[in-house]
């Protein structure tokens, strides 16, 4: 029954509007990712959830890097797979359906690169991105990370409030910048060989004119990794505290212009929120699939519980959430493919899909009953993983504010 609905295994032609709109290349990428996830991610998901430092993580990273997972959206001349935004989201969904933490582990480097790619500065690309990309074909693949969140500053500066400056201070010197501050909850921060960091040049001025973004190799003097946080979910990807103590980098490491960091951050949010939506979509779909498979097998009152109306109502809501989230994620991805990323649409995709992931995970646990609550069945993990999608890349509350700012502006 799950396969007939197009939500378990390879989806049937015409199973949904989204399916009909996919190109052969996009379907091929999705099916390839599904097979990689089945082979390399699924057997390790619960292992890494229990022990994120397990040697299995390094083995999986090596397999993913060599397979091309790390460079999904990078153009082929830059060493990537050259997938379009829709194809990239399809792959991300498949990886997240197997393990959301692993999807973040694989995708954090692309997030770290994103300010450099958004700047279209090939000199920065050659110095900081290319060496990492080239390492993916070796036995020691490297990582990148994006450092924005701070101990008392998360989503605040995203909206550009005048007093909401990053506490990380960047002091300009002759030909260089000096960085002081602390970043927290940085995905893959403890693994990265290069981080792109946002800081403030002048906290007394407007945030929109005083943020700066810099590329910082992690072997630079004064840089250190502090605490590795013990996360509730998405545990396969480490979240680290990064400390900048008089870290000096040359002016050539600046991404964009002095004071241009806020605009870069906005663009990064437009591009990264659909990816969070795709991760959440993968979780929501996995919860639905596990629930319906169990409901078909579990016999109560002489028939499978999928035949009980109370269960059918829950499963119907779960299916609706998956399909609606998929459309929003794909629509946001297509706006990126057109070269017109839409912040409102990206925020809608991220917000709706993450709420759907949490709701579906809760319903899946309810349908599985006691089994859903047990670690070994992997369903309670979905809820722990899903919750984080409502928090990072701007909390859902911040996303809703930004959606309404766009709505109000369009009606002015």
Catalytic residue list: 393
Q: Which residues pair with 401 in a beta bridge?
A: none
Tokens found for residue 135: 């390492």
Query: In this structure, what token pair is assigned to residue 51?
Result: 């022990």
Q: What gap in Å lies between CA 249 and CA 246, rounded to an integer? A: 10
Nearest partner of 239 among 125, 174, 146, judged by Cα: 146
Q: Distance between CA atoms of 269 and 95, rounded to whole angstroms?
A: 21
Rg from Cα positions in the chain: 21
Beta carbons within 8 Å of 372's beta carbon, 6+ residues apart: 364, 365, 366, 379, 380
Strands (E), 233-382: 239-250, 254-255, 299-300, 303-304
CA distance 269 to 94: 22
User: Which single residue is written with the structure tokens 């990309």?
Assistant: 133
Is residue 285 within 8 Å of residue 178, measured between CB atoms?
no
Contact 74, 133 (CB under 8 A): yes
Going by C-beta distance under 8 Å and a sequence separation of 6 or more, which residues neighbour residue 347? 273, 394, 399, 400, 402, 403, 406
- What is the phi-psi region of residue 23: left when phi exceeds 0, alpha when psi lies from -120 to 50, beta otherwise? beta
Paired tokens of 214: 């810099």
Structure tokens belonging to residue 62: 């090596």
């Amino acid at each position: 029954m799950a396969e007939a609905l197009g939500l378990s295994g390879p989806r049937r032609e015409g199973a949904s509007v989204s399916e009909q709109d996919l190109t052969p290349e996009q379907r091929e990428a999705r099916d390839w990712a599904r097979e990689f996830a089945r082979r390399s991610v699924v057997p390790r998901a619960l292992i890494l959830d229990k022990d994120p430092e397990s040697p299995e993580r390094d083995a999986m990273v090596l397999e993913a890097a060599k397979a091309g997972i790390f460079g999904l959206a990078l153009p082929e001349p830059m060493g990537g797979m050259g997938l379009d935004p829709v194809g990239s989201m399809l792959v991300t969904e498949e990886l997240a359906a197997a393990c959301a933490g692993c999807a973040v582990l694989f995708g954090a480097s692309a997030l770290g690169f994103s300010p450099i790619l958004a700047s279209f500065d090939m000199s920065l690309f050659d110095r900081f991105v290319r060496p990492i990309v080239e390492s993916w074909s070796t036995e020691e693949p490297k990582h990148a990370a994006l450092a924005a969140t701070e101990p008392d500053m998360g989503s605040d500066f995203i909206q550009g409030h005048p007093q909401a400056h990053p506490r990380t201070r960047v002091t300009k010197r002759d030909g260089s910048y000096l960085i002081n501050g602390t970043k927290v909850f940085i995905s893959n921060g403890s693994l990265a060989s290069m981080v792109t960091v946002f800081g403030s040049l002048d906290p007394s001025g407007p945030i929109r004119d005083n943020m700066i973004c810099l590329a910082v190799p992690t072997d630079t003097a004064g840089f250190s990794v502090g605490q590795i946080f013990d996360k509730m979910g998405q545990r396969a990807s480490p979240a680290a505290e990064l400390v900048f103590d008089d870290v000096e980098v040359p002016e050539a490491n600046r991404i964009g212009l002095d004071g241009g960091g806020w605009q870069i951050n906005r663009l990064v949010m437009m591009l990264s929120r659909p990816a969070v939506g795709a991760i959440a979509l993968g979780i929501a779909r996995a919860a639905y699939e596990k629930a319906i498979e169990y409901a078909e097998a579990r016999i109560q009152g002489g028939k499978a519980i999928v035949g009980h109306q109370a269960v059918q109502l829950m499963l119907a809501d779960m299916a609706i959430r998956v399909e609606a989230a998929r459309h929003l994620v794909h629509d946001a991805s297509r706006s990126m493919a057109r070269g017109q990323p839409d912040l409102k649409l990206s925020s809608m995709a991220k917000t709706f899909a993450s709420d759907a992931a949490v709701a579906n995970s809760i319903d899946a646990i309810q349908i599985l009953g006691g089994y859903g609550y047990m670690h070994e069945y992997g369903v309670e993990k979905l809820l722990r993983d899903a919750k984080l999608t409502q928090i990072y890349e701007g909390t859902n509350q911040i996303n809703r504010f930004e959606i309404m700012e766009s709505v109000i502006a369009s009606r002015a």
